[in-house]
Chains A and B, each alone.
Chain A
Amino acid sequence: DAKTTQPTSMDCAEGRAANLPCNHSTISGNEYVYWYRQIHSQGPQYIIHGLKNNETNEMASLIITEDRKSSTLILPHATLRDTAVYYCIVKRAAGNKLTFGGGTRVLVKP
């Protein structure tokens, strides 16, 4: 599975959009980009995933560049409860093993 690179941490103001970048320059054609988050002392929570096209659900939007070498997770209106570690994971099509990196520690401030 391709390796991902994320900033170690970032702060965001409550009510503003949070844009979380992820680089995955070695991604292959059949690998999906997944985003999970882990709120302190809880199990990882699925947010969104995509292959080529941009995706949106009730939690977030995922923007994938045309060359698929990077992506951005957008939390449109961050709340204090969005404070968590966010993991960008590239997962190959065959199989369900997730390889977690260090993630981005997001702190939403009032």
Chain B
Amino acid sequence: NAGVTQTPKFQVLKTGQSMTLQCAQDMNHEYMSWYRQDPGMGLRLIHYSVGAGITDQGEVPNGYNVSRSTTEDFPLRLLSAAPSQTSVYFCASSRDRSEGNTIYFGEGSWLTVV
């Protein structure tokens, strides 16, 4: 049981390039989400999904796209990277939307846009 797996762990992009951060979970969790964390700050929600085929925006969605074609995978796409997107990205998953549910996080993806 690997939990929540993120790839790549480190990435450097040039401004305007596109890339996809991968997130996979093997716990059959319905709910998945992406957060970003800037230096010295708490995590902020980018996008989330309550199940396959369903996605919605979080607090800071601009510049990011997501899709959820399977229960296991929830990739985050940067279509045209900007220096403001330099951050650490965390993927999270949980069993469902019910109260008292534990949310599990991946180990993070460090992205630098130059």
Contacts and interface: CB of A to CB of B under 8 A. Distances in A.
Interface of A: 30, 32, 41-46, 49, 51, 87, 91-103
Contacts of B92: 43-44, 98
Given A30-B99, A32-B100, A96-B101, A44 B44 contact: no
Contacts of A30: 99
Interface in B79-114: 90, 92, 94, 96-108
Contact of B33 (A51, A92, A96, A99): A96
18 contacts: A30-B99, A43-B4, A43-B106, A46-B103, A46-B104, A87-B42, A92-B99, A93-B98, A93-B99, A94-B99, A96-B33, A96-B96, A96-B103, A97-B33, A98-B45, A100-B42, A101-B42, A102-B42
B19 interface: no
Main secondary structure of the interface of A (DSSP, over half): loop
